[in-house]
Amino acid sequence: MNLRATLLLAVIALAATPVLAHPKVVGSIPAAGATVASPKAISLTFSERLFEKMSGATLAKTGMAAMPGHGAGPVRAEAALSDDGKVMTVTPAAALTPGSYRLDWFGVGGDTHRVTGSVSFTVR
């Protein structure tokens, strides 16, 4: 293979990289930073399909309104993925009481790397 062909292949490889980009959250309900009425569930929409067995989320209460850290702790919730693997729905075991929350998600997409992120919101 001559140098020109090698360079061409390198360019093709670089151009193909975005296909293997890590999954990221492209939308959530509630939206990040939003203050909402107690939601029955939290949903995250991802940029690509996640593998169900290697993906999930944990929910934590991070504080009560105007009292950061007070009443903080884990919140029992169950995460499930849609059939197309792009929407994660997290359903709390009990209604969320007023305060601030953080949803920490983890997921494995097409490139098999584990990716994590979080979405915070407030329940009024």
Residues lying near Cu ion in the complex (CB under 5 A) are found at: 111, 113
Residue number, 19 or 93, with CB nearest to Cu ion:
19
Residue number, 22 or 86, with CB nearest to Cu ion:
22
Pair type for strands 99-108 and 114-123: antiparallel
Beta bridge partners of 60: 74, 102
Residue number, 23 or 30, with CB nearest to Cu ion:
23
The least distance separating Cu ion from the CB of residue 114, rounded to whole angstroms, comes to 9
The least distance separating Cu ion from the CB of residue 55, rounded to whole angstroms, comes to 14
Fill in the DSSP letter of residue 19.
G
Tokens 């884990």 locate to 74
Residue number, 49 or 102, with CB nearest to Cu ion:
49
Full strand arrangement of the beta sheet holding 35-36? 35-36, 114-123, 99-108, 56-64, 67-75
Residue with CB nearest Cu ion?
Answer: 113
The least distance separating Cu ion from the CB of residue 21, rounded to whole angstroms, comes to 8
In whole angstroms, give the CA distance from residue 88 to residue 50. 9
